[in-house]
Structure formats: structure tokens, C-alpha cells
Chains A and B, each alone.
Chain A
Amino acid sequence: MFRPVLGSLVRAVPVILVVAVLTFFLMHLLPGDPAVVIAGPDAPVEAVERIRAQLGLDRSIAEQLFIWLGQLAHGNFGTSLVLNQSVVSAVIERLPVTLSLSMIAMAIVVPVGVACGVTAAYFRGSLVDQGMMLLALLGVSVPSFWLAILSVILFSVVLGWLPSSGYVPLSEGFWPWLAALIQPAVILALFQIGFLARTTRSAMLEVLGQDFVRTARSKGLTEWLAVMKHAFRNALIPVVTAMGIILSLLIGGSVIIEQVFALPGIGRLVVQGILVRDYPLVQGCLLLFGCTFVIINVLIDLLYTVVDPRVRND
């Protein structure tokens, strides 16, 4: 088991290097200048030039790239130009928010998405199937921004059940923490539930028509056992793959929800970094995202071996 994991990690090294170089060039290709942000939009050109020199932005792109790669080789992700804080500490400060939000959303997505997908596949072509798929379609189509605002008006302003915005750390109590996150997590989950339900449905449809399911039924097994133990287990590979993708998207792609609910997460940090051209911050965050995705992929590879022993034997 360790050999494939080790192989995945070794293969990840050039991937991360490519991510690092690409991120660097993409950021530097963007028009704009972080020195303008630091000096202020109204500052004289001379002041902007002085700050550019202080930050080393007056050096050639190649020189800046090699300096940055050199820092990375020493485990130094750099210092944010705007926050006056190291990139790693900026990420660590915001990590609990993003992880909490992602995990709660994931805890909603997986059971609901899988249940919807399996049910829709089992009742293929029926009103139940069509209803579930319509809901899934709505989930992926309705803009989360709009849904989030409606949700705030209903649950926070009209009903007064949940806070409208902000994050409460887990250390201040489980219920306040959950109350702050449940609303954004549900909105975030709705989109992914649709994706997971559709993936599960197609995987199940492929499996449900196969001989071994018919055999299971003919042996006299209950429908529950035939579907869940035999069919679903064999449909798990694409479902697990989809879960990996969803987790990656939840960690890196919740910026709109973080914005509306005023959650100080990593997604918002990256977008703010892009807007002000905070090169080290964005490069560092994207690189950390890259590393996270690699780790998630390795975990998914490991999970394959658990859900399907044939993968392990291969």
C-alpha cells in the first residue's frame, strides 16, 4: 500500500513545481501593480516607484522568480506585501474557518447527494427520479450569491434563528460555531449535492443492470441488501472520485459564500490578494492549494483500495 502512496507523492513534486511556476507567471502577467495599492491610488508616481524598489518589484521577472523559488526551497512562502504578515501565518489564521465550513458542507453533501443519486437510479424514469434530478439541476443552476442573500433575509432577519454573518471559533462553543456555519454550509452544499447526486445516479444505473445484481436478487436478498451491499459498493469508485473533487472545490472555491457571510476564510484571502496584486500571498496560497489537492488525491487513491480490493491487487 505504501508504494503507490509514495509513487503518488513523488509524482506530485514536478506537479507542484509546475503549479508554482505557472502561478508566478499568471500573477505577473496580470496588469496592475501592488505598489499602487500600498501607496494608495492617489499617490504620486514617484512614491509608487520608491515602493516598487523597496519590494524588489523593479527587478526582472526571471530574477524575482528565482528569488521566490529559492525561498520556497527553504520552506519560506514569503511575506504578504499588503498584510505585512507571512503567507503561512495568514493561511493558518484562516484555515479553521475554511476547514470548518468545508467539513460541515461535506457532511451534508455526502449523505444527501448519495441518497438522492441512489434513489433516483433505483426509481429510474419515475416521478421520483425526475423530481430528484430537477432538484439536482436547480442546485447546480441557482446562483449561490442570490440564494445566500434570500437565506439571510429569511433565517436571520425574518425568523431570527441564525446569525446573519461572521464566524465563531469552535473554542467559543459547539452550538455558536455550528449556528454561524450551518447557513453558509447548506448553501455551499446545495450546488455540490446536485453534482454528487447526478454522478451517483449514473454510476448506479450502470451497475444496477449487471448480472451480479440480478444474481443477488435471485438468491432472495432483500432489495436493500441487493442495492446497497452489492450494487452501490460497486458504484463507489466514481462516487469517491466525485467526493475528492467536491472536497477540493469546497476548500478552494467557497469565496462567494465567504464574502456574503463575512467568513474570514482562505478563498476570500486569495481573491483579495488577486485584486491588490499581492504576489507572494496569491502564489503561496495557490501553491498550498496545489499541495492540498495532491494530498486529497493521494487519500482518494488510498480509499480506492479500501472500497475495491481489485485496485489493491493491481
Chain B
Amino acid sequence: MNNVQVQRLGCACVAGLAIVAVLGLARNAVAEPKPGGSLIYAFSSGPRTLDPYVINNTVEIEVVNEIYESLVALGEDYTARPSLAARAEVSPDARRFTFTLRHGVKFQNGKEMTAADVLASFQRYQAVSPNAVALSGVEGYETPDPYTFVIRLKGTNALFLDVLKTPSYPFSILPAEQKDKAAGAADVIGTGPLRLGEWMKDSHLTLRRFDGYSVDPSAQGLDGYAGRKIVYLDAVRYNIVPEPNARIAAVQSGGADVTSQIPQSLSKRVAGQPGMQVQQVFPGCQQVFFQHTQNVPTNNLLVRQAVQAAMGVDDIMEALGEVSKRNGQLSYPGTPYFTPGNPNFHYDVNDTAKAKALLQQAGYHGEKIVLQTTPTYSWHLNATLVLSEHLKAAGMNVEVQPVDWNKNSNDRMSGEGGWNISLTNFCSQPLLGPQQWRPFILTIPQMRGDTVLEDAYRRVFESLDLPGRQKAWAEVQQRVFDQAYFLKVGDYGAINIASPKVHDLTAWYNIRFWGVWRD
């Protein structure tokens, strides 16, 4: 065989491969969803409870939002979308919200949902949910007919529909018979497209397709936790596999089809494998340092500003080794409350000389600055260790205080424990908007009593037009960062992995199994 023949043969092979590849892609592109079968999802931890009014972590949010639905839900672009309500009407003064319910929606026990169930659900929420404060502005409810539900507020709240869309402590609608059930004790009966099958705590949980599910006829396709929810799978089994190495191994060995919450470093293990789907989900969480305003020496604004000046975000993000992006705001780019332009939120100042000058101006004499962190999560510890080095370089006397996660959360929210700087990751709050930040910005002890902040926040809720609310939210953030209450580090994503057998798993804030099918 001469060179020309070899070249021709090579060309023919390449062309053949290309045709096969194109045909393969075309087959995938037009592949019809195949109904039936089960899917195994290697899940990081088990839910504590499936009572929607008391759930708040990612794991619980994922499961609960497959089983239950709310009047309005988080859309694909994180805005509020109708779900169990066919439409929501807001009075001009944003004090009266009228929800027209969809007809023929069935609970998983076969009973039809009516306004009486909605009323009982809201009443139970106020009685048992740790987030009951979200309804503290409610003056009363009305149910003029079985398919209309009205909420009257004591004052204007232009963000009330956004409050109701939350997937954390969701305002799910339960059958009225659950009204008097204690927190965590409600029977698992929702209106969602999947219903609870078997649940062995710490081992696995199975969700089965709810064949009586009423698909929203007005919805076009996937739309966050609203939209058109068509379940092709017979069942989804959530296997609780806490160790990320084992979760990846389960997908690689065929013991699971999908997994999530995989560190970036580990995801490289499957990145080159044919057909293996590695999805980067962004945005996911924001990382923020809190500064204590009552403990010495961070009770001095100049010291807090010195800390702000000393911090360099690139070093911290590099140390974490996660999917990350720079962002100095409390909202994500592309969302309605992201402040356009280049606001001066003192992000990534990274100026040691400025920090030293501020310390001198503050009269700082080496008082200890306690950085409380938790080794329970490596990103907490690593971020704090990097910040501590930045502060030392600026001449601060720093003590890193590692405690477990429980104490860390407790101290951060109560202001106790003698810390000056503490770190947390906010996951759902930035997606949902200003209303979700309120508990941190207005009620935690170290920020209470700031009238400028409270006034700006009041305008966020009371401005009836979006530009007015956007402007007020920019002012809230300006105050938070001017006072160096928060030090924003960056935004973080998550990684999901799915086997080649899984189709149409769309990367979004959380994993959803409607629209998904497998070979």
C-alpha cells in the first residue's frame, strides 16, 4: 500500500468515523424519552424529616420539592412563577394577594386540593415553621370560593410573592387534615409528581412516580420548581453515600446513575471517561465573612475596615479548589437585584499598606482578633487560614479558633463565643433575593440597631416598582460593606456527575427528576 492509498484509507476512516459520530449525535438529538425504569441517585446525606415547613438544607430541599408544591415556585431564572396557583393577582398597594388555584389538582392520597387545604397549610406554617416570621405581616386569609385564596397583609410588601417562592422552608400545600400535626410530624402527602415510597433513614429513600399528578397545562417546559413536570421514570432511589469518593465510585461501577456535591478535584477522575456527564452548576453558594460589631477590637469600624482592606479574595478562592467566580455583591450577575455598573462595595481591596494605616488610625495595639471557623468543612477552614495570613501580614494579632459546625453556626447567629470574624456559605439566599437576606442583615445581634440599614431595607419591601427596590437593595449592600459587617469572598458552584445512561438531566440549582429518563 503506497502513501497515497494510506492517506485515502485514513481519510475514508476519518470520514466514516465522522459520519458515525454525526449519526450518533443525531440519534441522541432526536432520541425520544423512554418511559419506565428506575434511577439510582448517590446522595450525600439523608433528610432528617420530609415535613416541608421545617426543612432548610440542600438535601432536604431536593427531596421535598419533588414531593410537594407551593402556590408559586422558584422559576428556572429564580423569579417567582405560578405553580399550584394558575395566577396570582397583587393589589396596587401590594397588601392583598389573590391566588386562583388550578382545578383538578390531586394530593397523593387521591383527594382534590382546594382553598381549604391552602388555608390550613398557611395556618400550620405559622404554628410550626422556624421561618414563621416570614408571615408575621399577614393580617388575615380569605377563601371566598374553593379555588380562590386571598392573603391580606398589614402593610405593603412588594416582595411577598418572592417570599412565597422559597424552596427552603417552602410554603408547600398539604391536605387540611395535617393542620394540627406537630413540627416534623406531618404525613408525607403532597401534590408533586413523585411520592414517597420506602424510606430507610441513613440508608436509602425511594420516590415513585405519582400517576395521578396534574401537569400544569399552561407550562411549556422545565421551569425551575414550577413548569411542566413529566416523570418518565417509575422510581428514583436515593442511596445515602456520604463520602464523595464512594459516590463517584458508585457511578463509575454502575452502582448509581447520578451523583452530586462532588469536589472539583475528584470530578477530574471521571472527566475523560466516554459518555460520563460532568455538570458544573453555577451559581450555588456565596461565601461571606461576618465581622462582630460588639466584641473588641472589631467593634471599632476602622479595625473592621482594616480587615476588609487586608483581605485578598483570589488567594482564598484558589485555596478552596472549588468552582468559583469573583463577585462583590450579595446578588448574582444576571438576576434582577444585581446592581449594574461598578458599585464601590470595597470588594477585594487587598491592600496591606492601607490596612496598616487604618489600624494606626484606629489606635490598634495588638488586641487579639479571633477567627472562628469549622474544620467540618474544608472550605471553611481553608478560607479562614488564608484570611488569617493576610491579617498577620497587616500586623494584626490573629487567633484561629476551630470549633465544630454546630457551635460555629450557633455562635455566628447568637453573637456569642467571643469571636471577631466568622465565615459562612449562603446557598439559597442569593438566588432568592433581598427578602431572603433579611434574617442575617436585620436580626442577627451584631447588625441590630443600624437605623440607616433598617430604613434602606424598609424601602426594599415598600417600593412598588422594581427600579425603586433595586436602588434600595443597592443602598442596603452599600451600608453592609461600608460598615464592613460582611466581607464578600466569591461565588461558588457545584458539580453533578451522571452516567451515559441518563438523559435530559438539566443542570440547575438543585437536581430534579422530571423530564429525566434512562436507557
Residues of A within 8 A of B (CB): 30-33, 36-48, 50-51, 54, 82-85, 90, 93-94, 149, 152-153, 156-157, 160, 163-167, 259-262, 264, 268-269, 272, 275-277
A75 to B335: give the CA distance in the assembly, Å: 56
Contact B444 A83 (CB under 8 A): no
Contact B424 A41 (CB under 8 A): yes
Contact B407 A32 (CB under 8 A): yes
Contact B413 A43 (CB under 8 A): yes
Contact A262 B239 (CB under 8 A): yes
Contact B185 A84 (CB under 8 A): yes
List 19 A-B pairs, Cβ < 8 Å: A31-B403, A36-B406, A36-B409, A38-B54, A39-B130, A40-B57, A41-B412, A42-B56, A42-B439, A44-B130, A45-B445, A149-B245, A153-B249, A164-B253, A166-B204, A260-B245, A262-B241, A262-B242, A276-B406
Residues of A within 8 A of B200 (CB): 93, 264
B125 to chain A, nearest CB (A): 13
B376 at interface by CB-CB < 8 Å: yes
Contact A84 B409 (CB under 8 A): no
Contact A44 B406 (CB under 8 A): no
Residues of B within 8 A of A264 (CB): 200-203, 240
B267 at interface by CB-CB < 8 Å: no
A93 to B46: give the CA distance in the assembly, Å: 15
Contact of A41 (CB < 8 Å), options: B201, B242, B409: B409
For B444, the closest partner residue in chain A by CB is: A45
A36 to chain B, nearest CB (A): 5
A288 to chain B, nearest CB (A): 17
Residues of A within 8 A of B412 (CB): 41
Contact A157 B249 (CB under 8 A): yes
A-B contact count (CB 8 A): 144
B243 at interface by CB-CB < 8 Å: yes
For A265, the closest partner residue in chain B by CB is: B202
Contact A260 B246 (CB under 8 A): yes
For A269, the closest partner residue in chain B by CB is: B202
Contact B249 A164 (CB under 8 A): yes
Contact A42 B253 (CB under 8 A): no
B383 to chain A, nearest CB (A): 17
Contact A166 B202 (CB under 8 A): no
Residues facing A in B1-60 (CB within 8 A) are 42, 48-49, 54, 56-57
A208 to chain B, nearest CB (A): 44
A8 to B20: give the CA distance in the assembly, Å: 76
Take A82-B48, A83-B201 as given contacts and tell me if A47 and B133 are in contact as well, using a CB distance cutoff of 8 Å.
Answer: yes
A260 to B405: give the CA distance in the assembly, Å: 21
Q: A43-B413, A47-B132, A264-B203 are in contact. List 7 more A-B contacts (CB 8 A).
A: A32-B406, A47-B131, A50-B130, A93-B201, A149-B243, A164-B252, A165-B255
Contact of A44 (CB < 8 Å), options: B240, B409, B443: B443
Residues of A within 8 A of B202 (CB): 94, 264, 268-269, 272
A162 to chain B, nearest CB (A): 9
Chain B 124-159, CB-CB to A under 8 Å as 1, else 0, gives 000000111100000000000000000000000000
B367 at interface by CB-CB < 8 Å: no
Take A32-B406, A164-B249 as given contacts and tell me if A43 and B130 are in contact as well, using a CB distance cutoff of 8 Å.
Answer: yes
